[in-house]
Amino acid sequence: MGDEQSTERVAQGTDVTQEILVIDDDPAILGMTLLTFREAGFQAVGFTDPLDALMWASDADPTCIVVDLKLPGIEGLDLVGAFCAFGRHAVILVSAYVDVLTTVDAMRLGVDNVLTKPTTPEQLLGAARRALDILASIPRQDTLTFTRRERQVAEYLVAGRTTKQIAQALSLSPRTVEFFRASLLRKTQSPNSAALASALTRIGFTASDA
């Protein structure tokens, strides 16, 4: 579960309070980042667990998401792609391991900005404000979309593969496979794995032959 799942309202002189979601596996960095946003007048909610963050974002109104690239149990750009696939959030990627290829791939997924650690409060706040301004001007999109990894996992689920079998086939950890299964359950509004397989089949997914 996230270490910082409560939100804090700070008066801004207006009736509109903007919210920021922060994901970082380092509790100290997470705490400092949340404090930066809260002192600037934002609501801020934080998670160290990417799956908890994804579940929170799935039900959240359009918001700005600040996510670390290197998180345990999940490939960074897969997580970023999952957030971008919602089609309603502004995503800022922050990492000490950013190179040109990663930046290009992130932008193609729909990331609004890429920041290199360590970042200053001014950089974080400036990026968040720009992202929220852009977000406010874009109509909300609720079209059902899937990331590349979600599609791969979906094909194996339709084929009746177990989590362990999918993990071996895709060279992923079982934890990562469960991450994508949870995302697919949410997106298709399926109550269990059997209903998920049926929903994926109706959408058009076919069993993987691999």
SS3 of residue 30 by DSSP: helix
Indicate yes or no: pTM above 0.85: no
pLDDT at 4: 42
What pLDDT score was predicted for residue 138? 57
pLDDT at 162: 93
Same structural domain, 154 and 98: no
CA distance 34 to 44: 6
Shared domain check, 92 and 38: yes
Tokens for 116, please give them.
């290199």
Query: What total of structural domains would you count in the chain?
Result: 2
Is the domain of 101 the same as that of 199? Answer: no
Domain end (from 136, 166, 194): 136
DSSP character for 137?
A: T
The verdict on 91 and 187 lying in the same domain is: no
- Per the domain annotation, does 6 fall within a domain? no
Q: What is the pLDDT of residue 21?
A: 95
Q: What is the CATH number of the domain that holds 84?
A: 3.40.50.2300
pLDDT of residue 209: 63
SS3 letters across 70-134 = CECCECHHHHHHHHHHCCCCEEEEEECCCCHHHHHHHHHHCCCEEEECCCCHHHHHHHHHHHHHH
Q: Is residue 42 part of a domain?
A: yes
Residue 153: left (phi > 0), alpha (psi -120 to 50), or beta? alpha
99 and 178 share one domain? no
User: Which pLDDT value is given to residue 91?
Assistant: 92
What is the domain range of residue 153?
148-203
Evaluate whether residue 12 is within a structural domain. no
Does one domain contain both 90 and 170? Answer: no
Q: Which of 86, 110, 136 is the last residue of a domain?
A: 136
Mean pLDDT, contiguous 10-residue spans, the chain (210 residues)? 36 47 94 95 93 86 90 82 84 86 84 89 93 70 70 90 92 88 85 83 75
Same domain, 182 and 100: no
Quick one: 42 and 118 in the same domain? yes
CB-CB contact of 55 with 79 (8 Å): no
Q: 125 and 45 in one domain?
A: yes
Residues 168, 132 share a domain: no
pLDDT of residue 9: 29
Is 11 within the bounds of a domain? no
Query: d(Cα 27, Cα 32) in Å, to the nearest integer?
Result: 9
